[in-house]
Structure 1
Amino acid sequence: MIIKTNTLVEDKKDENLFSRLTNALKRSLVSSRAVAIILSLLVSSVTSAFLSLIPSVNSVALSVCFLVSFSSSFLLIYIAFEFLIFKEINNVYSKLSKIKKKDFKFVPPLGSDILPSANPIRRVNQEITAYAGQKQQEIDELRRMEVFRREFIADVSHELKTPIFSAQGFILTLIDGAVDDENVRDLFLGKAARSLKALAALVEDLLTLSQIESGDITMRLEKYDMQEQVLEVFEQLENKAERRGVALKLVSQYEEGIYVYADYNRIRQVLINLIINAIKYGKENGAVTVTLTQTTKNLKVSIKDDGNGIEAEHLTRIFERFYRIEKSRSKQEGGTGLGLAIVKHIIEKHDSKISVKSKIGEGTQFTFKLQRTEVIEEV
């Protein structure tokens, strides 16, 4: 509520400022010819007065001199004012009027280079255009955030509703009398427990994502062997892989270990999320391959499956919260829909980026880089 109030106050101030400026511009535009006439009269009067000091000049010559100097001065002054001043003022007035109407079509595209003008009024015009561009960006960002907020609330509500209603249904059934049947009781309690476990996992992921984005969780960087960490994750996920007949492979040419400077627990979380996804969506009796490759300054980590792949239209959105490519299959496979969003934020906190490549029928590959400790020691 406070944010909305402040925004309204600021908008009201801007509107009042624009009103005062446009009114002043209107008054100046009305008096443009009058200014030219007054200056021309002054110039012609001064010229005629000096000419009258010459005894041989008669009244006819003075009148001709007055008319010629008045006409020429008027034309020069009027043209100079019209093209150098009032034309620019007209542009300023036009843009201020459009800003009041929230019409920002005159704003040039982002990244356009505009050289500062030597004309001070034109520079004001450029400043107004820059201000309008800033306002347009703010409006676009607010609209984007509003759409994001609505989608996020809808997604969270949907994700929370499923486990809550499931657990509620099982428990209410037991309360209505099914608790007396031992087999039904154990079955329904097990299902209710799984629903509550899914709910707890969802809330935990939401809290983790929120804390990372707000900066409440900082990365605790340390030196450790990346090969050893990958093998530990393989050992942890071995049973899950065996249930689908998936082989876990590490491709690395370095026998002595590869040391990186990163947050061990957070990178472990990244590996677990990516490898679990690869196991879920890869082929049964297929393989998940983790490849470690050293570059000049970094260690490149790639996780690849041999599944059906992801269509190009989904690749730009898979790191969004709750975005699911196949909703029905995702529900069957489990998961909160926040894993890749968390992965993306963790990698970005390590001053890196995660990329994804996929071909239909050939599988999907996620890649990110971590800083090698050798580079840090050299520095």
Structure 2
Amino acid sequence: MSIKYKMPLYILTVFIIFVVLLLGYFKLFLYDDLRAGVDNYWLHYDQINQRIVEEIMSSYPDRKEMGNNLQEIYETENIRVKILDTNGNTVMETGDQDDKVPILKQKETAFYNNNLVYIMEIMHPSPLRNFRWVGSFGRLRMIGFTLLGFVIISIIIYLHYFIVKPLLTLQKILDKFSYNDLSINLPYTKRQDEIGYFCNKFYELVERLKISRKEQVDVILSISHDLKTPLTSVIGFSERLMVGKRPTEERTREYSAIIYDKAQDMNILLEEFHEFAINELQYTAFTKIKVEFGPFIEELSKKYAEELKERHGEFALENHVQNGVIMMVDKDKLKRVFDNLISNSKKYGNENLKIKMICILEGKKLKISIEDNGSGVPVEELDKIFDNFYRVDKSRSSNKGGSGLGLAICKRIIAAHGGAIWAYKSADGGLGISFSIPVK
């Protein structure tokens, strides 16, 4: 839940709890006192009113005695009385009017021989001054302030542990991060608000940076390792040509051929590293043109068949795509994908290598599968072979050459064309790789 909803909801919940507790305290400890006080108040004032009426009627029509009796009541009970005749004229009034003192006004009537003689306005002082439950309201106020204090403290605790503390933790981590220190222990949080989102995104960023740093180290190690093997051969055979007896012409050609082959291996490695770096920085420009699939795949198949024939292997094409299918692709980049996949099969194939290419049109996508009968890849590692510098058997891969970038480059090229690539175990026990690209 978002903080902009969570905070008001939390405060509202705490406020409701505060009100419920306050009302609960009132019901349990004050209600009975309040009700008893009100009942006693009305009973007491009814008795006083009855006494006033009796005093007036007992002294009627002697107004002097009537005034003395009412004055005595005023002095003892602090109750003012105003007597009016039947015409509404004031006959007498006791006490002084004080607007600052709240009063409760009641009317009574006095009859003599069944005739109305007086109307009395009896003004009682405010019951708030006399009720014994006023002290209970003082306790209620004290309880209210106490609960309000707990509400404020709970809000402060909530703000500290759920907002301020996570932000302070992030601040410390960002201080480390600013010094390129990735030894950060930031656990993944299950919070669903903005702070949880920010923490998790930062956690993912740090993890990606750790992986990126490891990949940078792997790049350096891979370059140095892969260049060292052919470079050692170049240096060794160059020394043979320069030191000692002059070799025969046949030996010279043999050594020169080896030096040339190893130099070509280094050149291929450097080209792959260069292309990888360009792709990583997204500097590669794709020039897509319309290419008819049929002639394109036939041309490549002839080339691969000749290459396999030279090493006593077999290449077979199963093209189930009808003529006239047009692709919108970068032709050179797509050729690079086919070359890398065939080269990968040749590199890890056995003496009786067989490579089969199957082409199928599935809706608006071309699916091309290349299968071999080579040593294959363990099933649990099929998803990893498209990672940068990944090799199933690093020692064997080094002996056979290669940077571990060929399939990673294929994945980037296919993705740039809006397709997908995946690996599987072929029917002959070797490696199968399929990829799809959209067609017009």
Q: TM-score, normalised by structure 2?
A: 0.62
Q: Does the 8 Å contact 1:324/1:330 carry over to 2? A: yes
More strand by share: 2
Match of 1:200 among 256, 264, 267: 267
Please name the residue that 2:417 is paired with.
350
Structure 2 distance, partners of 1:309, 1:318, is 11
Structure 1 distance, partners of 2:427, 2:376, is 4
Please name the residue that 1:123 is paired with.
none
Q: CA deviation at 1:279?
A: 3.5
Q: CA deviation at 1:62?
A: 9.3
Q: CA deviation at 1:257?
A: 4.3
Q: CA deviation at 1:346?
A: 0.8
Q: CA deviation at 1:173?
A: 3.1
Establish whether residue 68 from structure 1 lines up as the match of residue 139 from structure 2. Answer: yes
Structure 1 distance, partners of 2:373, 2:133, is 100
Structure 1 distance, partners of 2:324, 2:228, is 46
Please name the residue that 1:90 is paired with.
161
Letter in 1 for 2:135: V
Establish whether residue 251 from structure 1 lines up as the match of residue 318 from structure 2. Answer: yes
Match of 1:131 among 180, 185, 198: 198
The residue correspondences of 1:275-314 to structure 2 (distance < 5 A) are 275-314=342-381
Structure 2 distance, partners of 1:346, 1:226, is 17
My pick for the range that moved more, 341-350 or 246-255, is 246-255
Residues 318-352 of structure 1, C-alpha deviations (whole Å, 9 max, x = no match) = 12333222345434544443221221111111111
Structure 2 distance, partners of 1:286, 1:135, is 49
Q: CA deviation at 1:68?
A: 1.8
Please name the residue that 1:141 is paired with.
208
Structure 1 pair 178–329 and aligned structure 2 pair: CA distance change class (3 A) = farther
Match of 1:226 among 269, 276, 293: 293
Q: Which has the greater radius of gyration?
A: 2
Q: Does the 8 Å contact 1:211/1:217 carry over to 2? A: yes
Structure 1 pair 304–66 and aligned structure 2 pair: CA distance change class (3 A) = same
Structure 1 distance, partners of 2:203, 2:137, is 53
Instruction: Give the percent of matched residue pairs that are identical in Structure 1 and Structure 2.
Output: 25
Structure 1 distance, partners of 2:304, 2:350, is 16
Residues 205-264 of structure 1, C-alpha deviations (whole Å, 9 max, x = no match) = 211222233232222112222232222122222332013432222212345243222111
The residue correspondences of 1:359-370 to structure 2 (distance < 5 A) are 362-370=429-437
Please name the residue that 2:187 is paired with.
105
Structure 1 distance, partners of 2:101, 2:430, is 98
Letter in 1 for 2:384: R
Q: CA deviation at 1:59?
A: 8.4
Structure 1 distance, partners of 2:420, 2:322, is 27
Q: CA deviation at 1:311?
A: 0.1
Letter in 1 for 2:139: V
Q: CA deviation at 1:366?
A: 0.9
Q: Secondary structure at the match of 2:255?
A: helix
Structure 1, unaligned stretches of length 5 or more? 1-35, 37-50, 115-125, 374-379
Establish whether residue 338 from structure 1 lines up as the match of residue 405 from structure 2. Answer: yes
Structure 1 pair 333–128 and aligned structure 2 pair: CA distance change class (3 A) = closer
Q: Does the 8 Å contact 2:218/2:389 carry over to 1? A: no
Alignment root-mean-square deviation, CA = 3.1
More helix by share: 1
Letter in 2 for 1:324: R
